[in-house]
A and B are shown apart, each in its own frame.
Chain A
Amino acid sequence: MRPIAKVYTALIFLFLFAPIAILLVFSFNSGNSLSVFSGFSLHWYQELLHDTNTLGALKNTLILALSASILSTILGTAAAVGINKLRSRTMRSAMNTVTNIPMVNPDIITGISLMLLFVFAGRLMGLGTSLNFWTMLIAHITFCLPYVILQVLPKLRQMDKSLPEAAMDLGCTPMRAFLKVELPEIMPGVLTGLIMAFTLSLDDFVISYFTAGNGFETLPIRIYSMTKKTVTPKMYALATLIFFAILALLIISNLMDEETAQERRLAKAKRKKERKPLSPQAKRTLALSVLGGAAVLALAVSFAGRAQQLELNVYNWGEYISDGSEGSLDTIKAFEKWYEEEYGQKIRVNYSTYASNEDMYAKLKSGSVSYDVIVPSDYMIARLIAEDMLLPLDYDNIPNYKYIGEQFRGLYYDPNDEYTVPYTYGVVGIIYNANQVDEADIGDWDLMWNPKYAGRILQFNNSRDAFGTAMYKLGIDVNTGDKAQWDQALAELQAQRPMIKAYVMDEIFNAMESGEADIGAYYAGDYFTMADAQADSVDLQFYYPPATNYFFDSMCIPSCAQHKELAEIFIDYMLSEEAAIANAEYIYYACPNALVYESEDYIDEMGEEAMEILYPPMDDFKERYNSYAYQNLSDDILSYMNELWESLKIN
């Protein structure tokens, strides 16, 4: 290699590995920030090992990638053999065109189109849940197939056609001739296809996002769902572990290849003309396929077996339940254990997560999933009730409901307390960096429109909350049905746009912690997460503007639930002292459960400042809540808002 080529290669590799280096370094961060490094620690690795949900998602991802790549390799290789032998030109080019479609189609279209098909087929067959592991598997096989075929076809074409014919003249069956003669010849192509398929399947997010269903959460979906709370260095730790595992595997495989190459050279030297039926490489692949096949089978069996076992499908926000980190209680595991002790029967909770109310609604509305417990926010609850998508609860099965404070009952979205059990609540406030922002400027929403801080301000990257900030500022009712008032709010947001640094959701954590931005509105509890991780030069503070958003996230049972009573038992358990405190301390939002907010241990643990901010004065709470909370907008206004939002975003 010439020196210039060496330098060039080094630069390209630097580019390829720069982000990998970043996640490697930050996986050892002792703090919880992804942009402020506060010291070396193995803390996140420990957390990771205790996080059964994340490890479960990893397992799911691997199972999916392994089954999809092996099945698509088998199917694709057979297809390539068939296509290669097609006599008619038209047929061949037709097959090639069809094969190319998934490659020329953006993955978002492949995802949506398959989802539409599955939903339709599910309705046709009268299934309540048509999206599940198997639909994801089909989707993954579908987009992997072309890559396999395109790897295998050229190898087939390069092969001497007389070889398999000779084998058959000598008495081989076509199958035997294929296995003994053709397969070893095309093995390199098959292997590359397998590896590509595995890689693509492992990395896919978009197609999985649209075709994912009940109780089968993959890693990319889990990570995407952390969009409201925050992505922790735990995910980086996981990526680092994966990195080293792959590195080890590749080094081993390279060494083995080296051996085979040497063997081959030796064989050549001896002028042995004997054709090995299968190269060691091919044997390894075969072994792998058999293993993979066994894995798929085992999975199928375990799925079938699970039908006997009690199952509960819970669908919650990302990072919205205590997961056993920092020595806390893993409330899902604790529930499973408690249930078995109490009722003498094993239960399995399939826990999956979503990034927004709207994501969750889109899945439910498609009629292709079945969840037993969901945790929507207030305005979404109102919508679900209006569309008959929630079941009334049997509060006799939820005795712990009595601990929900009186002021948190009979709220507008469920005036007669029929459908919901409040899980968390909170208020939106403004977070600012006191080292940069003048104390005189704080107090209300004007801070987010203050030209003094142009380029340092963050705004919500979700339409409802962003319009909310403008409407509270203007004194407009956030639930107005008057389009002129929405236009007014849009004008306010458009005026703000040149001053905005970024439209953010979870990115706000990074931006505020590192001092990238100085002002941003977010949910009160999250302020403490940011303040904990702030850089030395940053001093984050928080206040509530006079009019601002109050929200509730409540546990509900959707009408697609299959285990209603079980779901009620689960909800009741989540209200029990131990579980409720663990969840409240983990989520860091206010909890409407008296067992929590009156617990001295909890109050001590949270500290005075947190209690004061998280639990605003209660005297006029209900009134304030009912007048400031988001309510369900009519379809007309909702789509009008979306249009306005798009026109703001394209500026």
Chain B
Amino acid sequence: MKDTVSRQRARVATADRAALAPYTVWAVLFILVPLVFVAYYAFTDNAFHFTLDNVKRFFTATSTVIGSDGSAQEVRTYLLIFWRSLKLAVISTVICLAFGYPIAYIMARAAPRVQRTFMTIIMIPMWMNFLIRTYAWMTILQDKGIFNNFLTTLHLPAVHIIGTEAAVVIGMVYDYFPYMILPLYSILAKLDPKLLEAARDLGCSGWGVLKRVVWPLSLPGVISGVTMVLIPSISTFYISQKLGDGKFFLIGDAIEGQYVANNLHFAAAIAFVLMIVLLLCMGLMRKLAGRRVEGGL
């Protein structure tokens, strides 16, 4: 009997290892090795000799910015670009969170059938190609576009949106909104209603329940959602081209521009720095959230 059990254990262990083996190989080959390549390109020149120039250039390259009053000012080119990308991405992420959380909460509290319908409705736009969706926003936001026509019909003054930071942010929020809602929803849906009842029974106000019970428990979903919105919006190059009137040069544009200009090594250096910064940020965020969320962000 003991023999059967141990043999069975051994078989299970072999099976588990067999299940994990293909993924391990895959992860090493296609997740880890490519990162080594980015680092390798970032620290070599065109002849593949070691150099720090590319990374140094990221931090030290300067250019002159001319202010609206005509005054010239020396700035660090890539640090400025990076800072701007980060700013827009953070704004978009905060907006996504602020507007996505209530929707996710409403969804999670709805009847199961309604939940499914909601889910479908939120996913559908993602099935239209994102280039085309962004294009459609151009038609809506331009000065003589649908939105301004609507305002004019209401006898309101027209607003200039396209080509401003607001337009870029709208594009980012729109494209990545579902990425915020889905993880929030899946966490909130699992929340035990009894917990909320208990909190209320113990004298918590509605707001208190939200702040003391729901929010802390949903933190893993928040982290996951924030990551899934922040990361793509920081590196997008299409949204800024189309909705920013080509006036917003973000870090994604810089990488793509260097790739197209055939400066692969410098493109890799920008990518490398971006990657390190993001990994650090994410690590820090998870630490701050104070909760180890195993298996995911």
Contact = CB atoms under 8 A, between A and B. Distances in A.
B35 A220 contact: no
Contacts of B210: none
A584 interface: no
B63 A22 contact: no
A356 B241 CA distance: 15
Interface in B248-281: 249, 252-264, 267-268, 271, 274-275, 278-279
Interface string A175-204: 100100000000000000001100100110
B43 interface: no
A579 to B, nearest CB: 30
Contacts of B30: 114, 117, 138-139, 141-142
Interface string B126-142: 11111111011111101
B121 interface: yes
Interface string B89-118: 000000000010011001000100100111
B116 A79 contact: no
Contacts of B218: none
A640 to B, nearest CB: 11
B19 interface: yes
A81 B16 contact: yes
Given A82-B19, A461-B241, A503-B246, A105 B27 contact: no
A78 B63 CA distance: 51
A365 interface: yes
B31 interface: yes
Q: Which of B24, B77, B129, B174 has the most CB of A within 10 A?
A: B129
A377 to B, nearest CB: 15
A96 B252 contact: no
Contacts of A98: 27, 31-32
Contacts of B264: 116
Q: Number of contact residues on A: which range applies?
A: 35 or more
Contacts of A149: 295
Interface string A469-481: 0000000000000
Nearest to B29: A117
B119 to A, nearest CB: 9
Contacts of A169: 8
Contact of A503 (B162, B245, B257): B245
B261 A650 contact: no
Contact of A96 (B137, B260, B275, B295): B295
Contacts of A109: 38, 235, 255, 271, 274-275
A504 B246 contact: yes
A112 B22 contact: no
Contacts of B163: 501-502
A257 interface: yes
Given A101-B31, A461-B241, A246 B232 contact: no
A205 B38 contact: no
Interface string B211-227: 00000000000000001
Contact of A81 (B19, B35, B65, B258): B19
A280 interface: no
B23 A79 contact: yes
Nearest to B61: A643
Nearest to B268: A112
Contact of A250 (B120, B136, B232, B255): B120
B116 A257 contact: yes
Contact of B257 (A34, A205, A642): A642
B125 A16 contact: yes
A243 interface: yes
A259 interface: no
B278 A646 contact: no
B81 A650 contact: yes
**Which of B24, B26, B145 has most chain A Cβ within 10 Å?**
B26
A236 B134 CA distance: 12
B68 interface: yes
Contacts of A210: 259
B143 interface: yes
B31 A168 contact: no
B263 A639 contact: yes
A646 B136 contact: no
A75 interface: yes
A236 B12 CA distance: 52
B256 A108 contact: yes
Given A502-B163, A647-B77, A108 B255 contact: yes
Given A81-B19, A82-B19, A116-B41, A107 B235 contact: yes
Interface in A78-119: 78-79, 81-83, 85-86, 92-93, 95-96, 98-110, 112-114, 116-117
Interface in B225-253: 227-228, 231-232, 234-235, 237-238, 241-242, 245-247, 249, 252-253
Given A82-B19, A112-B255, A150-B297, 11 more contacts: A16-B122, A17-B125, A82-B21, A100-B296, A102-B31, A117-B37, A220-B131, A257-B116, A258-B113, A502-B163, A502-B245
Interface of B: 8, 11-12, 15-17, 19-24, 26-27, 30-35, 37-38, 41, 61, 63-66, 68, 75, 77, 80-81, 84, 99, 102-103, 106, 110, 113, 116-118, 120-133, 135-140, 142-146, 162-163, 174, 177, 182, 227-228, 231-232, 234-235, 237-238, 241-242, 245-247, 249, 252-264, 267-268, 271, 274-275, 278-279, 282, 294-297
